[in-house]
């Protein structure tokens, strides 16, 4: 059962409207009567997939622990017998995926700027102890706020590297964007998987093409957009090489090359 308009959770969060959702979860807009701010409230019903409920709590706890300005702020985690509620910062704007659908391929200079910012966010995750891999970089997980700032959203696939050889038992990420090692090709998953995902994301934002139609190491960005600087195409190709050791090894190295992309 959903939440009614006007219903108040924890004597604080007044539900205003449903924002979306599906399956076992729904997202609502709420007014925080204590701070006066708008909040997004994600409801995960316990009557359905209990595993999903556990993943949602883990995701919220991960983001709450990170407390990084470019990740959504988790305000509260509420639990009842019927559902869990994740109360988070309400982010205005549109995702990079939505902008791509609305406007088509994005200017190369803008994509480079976004990619450099995303390198900083991913580097922050990779620098944690233990290191974390985002594992789900794609346009739909990048929020572009009205003033132009980026926020990274959806941390449900984050992998903590508690041991050096991280071969996940579950397939992580989204096909077309996930590095080959995330899909079980025998290589351990580490920070270079995020570099692959960022390369695929750049390719799609630059060309408008579905990355599922290309193969690892074969993202011909410039053949689809001739005005693109050759150096930028080489960066995309290096990010998306099938073998991890052939990619950039750190996001700092990638960011330095993006700064020289000539856009």
The DSSP result for the chain, as a single string, is: --PPTT-EETTTEEEEEEEEEETTEEEEEEEETTT--EEEEEEEETTS-HHHHHHHHHHHHHHHHH--TTSPPEEEEEE-SSEEEEEEEPPPSEEHHHHHHHH-SPPHHHHHHHHHHHHHHHHHHHTSSS-EE----SGGGEEE-TTS-EEE---TT-EE--SSS---SS--S-TTTS-GGGGTSSSPP-HHHHHHHHHHHHHHHHH---GGGSBTTB--HHHH-TTS-HHHHHHHHHHT-SSGGGS-SSHHHHHHHHTTS--
Nearest to 173 by CA among 202, 201, 197, 209: 197
Catalytic residue among 32, 76, 117, 136: 136
Within 10 angstroms of residue 262's Cβ, the number of other Cβ atoms is 11
For this structure, is 84 an active site residue?
no
Q: Which residues contact 260 (CB under 8 A, 6 or more apart)?
A: 231
**Cα 28 from Cα 40, distance rounded (Å):** 6
- Residues annotated as catalytic are 136
């Amino acid at each position: 059962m959903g939440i009614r308009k006007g219903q108040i959770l924890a004597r604080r969060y007044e539900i205003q409207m449903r924002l979306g959702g599906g399956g076992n979860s729904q997202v609502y807009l709420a007014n925080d009567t204590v701070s006066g701010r708008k909040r997004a409230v994600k409801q995960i019903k316990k009557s359905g997939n209990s595993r999903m409920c556990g993943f949602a709590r883990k995701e919220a706890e991960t983001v709450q622990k990170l407390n990084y300005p470019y990740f959504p702020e988790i305000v509260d985690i509420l639990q009842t017998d019927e559902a869990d509620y994740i109360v988070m910062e309400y982010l205005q704007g549109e995702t990079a995926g939505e902008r791509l659908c609305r406007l088509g391929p994005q200017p190369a200079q803008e994509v480079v700027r976004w990619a450099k910012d995303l390198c900083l966010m991913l580097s922050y995750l990779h620098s944690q102890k233990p290191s974390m891999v985002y594992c789900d970089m794609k346009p739909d997980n990048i929020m572009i706020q009205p003033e132009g700032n980026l926020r990274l959203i959806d941390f449900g696939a984050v992998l903590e590297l508690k041991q050096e050889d991280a071969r996940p038992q579950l397939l992580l990420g989204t096909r077309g964007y996930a590095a080959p090692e995330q899909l079980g090709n025998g290589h351990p998953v580490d920070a270079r998987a995020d570099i692959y995902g960022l390369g695929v994301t750049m390719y799609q934002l630059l060309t408008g093409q579905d990355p599922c139609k290309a193969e690892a190491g074969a993202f011909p960005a410039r053949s689809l957009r001739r005005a693109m600087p050759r150096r930028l195409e080489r960066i995309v190709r290096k990010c998306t090489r099938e073998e991890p050791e052939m990619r950039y090894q750190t996001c700092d190295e990638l960011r330095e090359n993006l700064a020289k992309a000539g856009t």
